[in-house]
Amino acid sequence: MSERKTKLDKIRAFVDKMPSLSTTVSKVLEICSRTDTSPNDLNKVISLDPVLTGQVLKLINSAYYSLVNKVTSLTRAIIMLGLNTVKNLALSTAIIRCVGQVKKSKALPIKDFWAHSIGVGVMAKLLAAERGLPLIEREEYFVAGLLHDLGKIPFGDEYAEVLVLAKKAQEPLVRLEKRHLEINHEEVGKMIASTWKLNAVITDAICHHHAPEEAAPEHRALVATVALADFYICLFDIGYAGNRYPDEAQLETLLTLCGLEWSAVAGLSSAVDAEIKKAEIFLQV
């Protein structure tokens, strides 16, 4: 049996053991994929889950939204947040909780890992705004950024050596993973996305954020935006997901795919810091 096959089997066994997303979350995703869904439909499902109800109310009343009056009605919170935000909140917090249950990686401290992930989510959303995308679409960018590195979770202790090598060689981590583990985190991410039945655009962001040109044409701009956000967050050492030296040769391509100038990206630095502080609510709900 090849070494790659052995490693794949080990990772597949880990992914299979990961807790599945709760019935409520699956139902929320299903309801939100319909075109005729109303806030009331969503209210019926969420109100049966006290934890998710609490999360939705906590989010609407958090610093992230800075409202003057406290919202206590779930239906009102769903209307104000919008179906897409509630769907993404349910998905994000469910995944953060699932990962927390299965992994306390020595190689990749989970708190730093989520700080990096939130940074990429926030930056992707800000870049989407910079690209002139409507508010309703930006939320998808936040979630795609938040979940892009999920494939790093199942790696075992041998990952620590790869992180050290990437730092020493000052090379992109994805290259070192392939060389030393014969499998990279994008491939592992694909297994998780398929187990959790994540939608096609989020799956493409997880599987192709190091090569956006390989994503489906209709998802390419989003995946390139996540890749650009990841480049920025790695470059400025926000959180830690092991990739201190992103591939600089790729920067020009990413900027072209996103239709942005680096000066516009760099100009978002104070907004990124402020938004990250607010978005940390996702780690506490």
Per-residue model confidence as pLDDT tens digits over 6-19: 888 888 888 888 88
Domain check: are 112 and 77 in the same one? Answer: no
Domain check: are 32 and 142 in the same one? Answer: no
Amino acid 128: pLDDT: 97
Q: pLDDT tier at 282 (50, 70, 90 boundaries)?
A: low
Lowest mean pLDDT among 55-64, 118-127, 212-221: 55-64
Three-class SS string for the chain? CCHHHHHHHHHHHHHHHCCCCCHHHHHHHHHHCCCCCCHHHHHHHHCCCHHHHHHHHHHHCCCCCCCCCCCCCHHHHHHHHCHHHHHHHHHHHHHHHHHHHHCCCCCCCHHHHHHHHHHHHHHHHHHHHHCCCCHHHHHHHHHHHHHCCHHHCCCCCHHHHHHHHHHHHCCCHHHHHHHHHCCCHHHHHHHHHHHCCCCHHHHHHHHHCCCHHHCCHHHHHHHHHHHHHHHHHHHCCCCCCCCCCCCHHHHHHHHHHHCCCHHHHHCCHHHHHHHHHHHCHHHHC
Among the three residues 102, 125, 158, which one is the final residue of a domain in this structure? 102
Amino acid 251: pLDDT: 95
The domain total for the chain is 2
Mean pLDDT of all residues in 118-133: 95
CATH number for 125? 1.10.3210.10
Q: pLDDT tier at 4 (50, 70, 90 boundaries)?
A: confident
Among the three residues 60, 81, 102, which one is the final residue of a domain in this structure? 102
Among residues 216, 233, 53, 217, the alpha carbon closest in space to that of 125 is found at 233
Q: What percent of the chain has pLDDT over 70?
A: 97
Domain check: are 174 and 275 in the same one? Answer: yes
Domain check: are 25 and 154 in the same one? Answer: no
Structural domain of 38:
16-102
Amino acid 162: pLDDT: 93
Mean pLDDT of all residues in 46-74: 88
Instruction: Supply the pTM of this predicted model.
Output: 0.88
Amino acid 116: pLDDT: 94
Per-residue model confidence as pLDDT tens digits over 246-260: 999 999 999 999 999
Domain check: are 73 and 137 in the same one? Answer: no
Per-residue model confidence as pLDDT tens digits over 68-98: 899 999 999 999 988 888 888 888 888 888 8
